Structure 1
Amino acid sequence: MVVLGAGIGGWLLATSKSVPTPNIVGQSKAAAKASLSDVGLSLVVTEEQFSEEIPLDLIISSDPAPGEGVREGGAVGVILSKGPERYVIPDVKGLSATDAAAAITSANLAIGSTTEVFDDQVPAGAVASTSPKIGSEVKPGTSVDIAVSKGPKPVAIPQVVGKKTQVATSAITDLGLLVTTKEKYSEKIAEGVVIAIRPAAGTISPSGTAVELVVSKGPPPVAVPSLIDLPKNKAISVLKGLGLKPKVLEAAATPLNRVYSQDPPAGTMIPKGSSVIIRII
């Protein structure tokens, strides 16, 4: 009986029909199914693997291999590509170097070098950036360098006293400093020119520090006095005493030698150094 059973099994194997396995490597799952169906075979996905050569969702290999015989009506096992194995560099900005290292290694990546950089936005001791950049997709085991913030870069406040406001502001902001302005009347410094700076020029300050510019508004305003009916010389003396410039208009004959009109009128506020017209009769 044993001999008989073995003889029947061998006969069945010898007489079962087989077909060569089509070459479906590199095809999509749908295309491979169609190719196998054409010769009476079916497809079974046995595994999915990462591949640097075979794009996502295409077939890496088949079992049986292309050209090998497979029983008619049988199934062909395939390994399907998951595409290249890539990992995203995690967002570690603002973390401590220790926590950043843990996040990077947890993402199947490696820690590279650590450097220190000045950064106006990130507190000292926290990660400011990575190389490759955060969010980049890289191969497993890629080395990621981290830059740790030393805080804002210290800079020397420039000397801008005597410069026009716009020029002074540019000189300061170009260094990463902030600018605030305060206006003040000055009889000696022209309007729009910097009178003083706080902190003082030469002071070493972190970038991002606010620097106050005290800017001249020019001479203070003066109220024009009432000059009507004053003697000419008295009116001139009063105007000069207030820092105003008298402009005298008089006819050939001025028998009274007194002011009969003025421009601007009394009470008008004008800058020191302005002219006031007086007419003499």
Structure 2
Amino acid sequence: MAVGMPPATEQWAPRGGSFDIRRILPSAFGRLPAMPSKLLRGMGCMAYTLLVFVIFALAAYTSFSVFVRSGATTVPSVEGMSQTDAANVLADQGLALRIAEGRGRYDDKVPADLVARQSPDAKSFVKRGSTVNVVLSRGPRRVTVPDLRAKTLPLAQAGLSGTGLALGRILEALAPHREAPGSVIEQDPDPNASVPPATGVDLLLAMAAPGERYVMPDLVYRHYDQVRPTFEARGFKLGSIKFERYEGVAAGVILRQFPLPGHPVSREDAISLVVATADGAP
């Protein structure tokens, strides 16, 4: 027969002594008295935290209510408006407009004479009767184009750099009025034009004009004594003059020439001639 637990009516105890359940669960019996104390402390902390939150919420609500009842209003946005329109919009909210001292500020997005900045900012809460300071726009920053005509390219570049402008395209053309080569004939934009900073200024420079060119006439069989004074009177230079005997041709008649007839010639070019001499001449 299997050995089991003793009957309920019997007092069971282990061998060697009486039975004590606290020896089996000593830790549980040791903590039982401490559990109610920690629970109470936790509930007290929660109650204190809840009380502080309620007091803070009531104080915030009361302050906001007093603030609203005292005549507070929201600042409207007046940026981008004219001075008159901004003053009217602020007056509708019981606020006053004041223009900030100074000449305003440059603004690339807001046209001149419109409100560029405001303080306090839009949607801020202020009391009625408060003042809103605004700064008027002076529009985009502009610079005046200097007069670069008759200046050399280095001087023109220095003038543009000093005014915050950039050098644009550079073109060349023959000077119509004999301007110095390399000097500025025209510019775009024109002098004294008002342009944004860093605008490029195109320059037209004078080119060195080539000498005047003429068509060389046919001098063969013409008399040298007639040709020479005519050319010298017009500024042409006669270079090498050679004399040769040529049968059947009178002395002083031009036999050959350089440049050849029809070729271009300038006053700087030397004209060479071969002239016939009389029979028996060296």
- The alignment's TM-score, normalised by the length of structure 1, stands at 0.47
Higher Rg of the two aligned structures: 2
- The alignment's TM-score, normalised by the length of structure 2, stands at 0.47
More strand by share: 1
More helix by share: 2
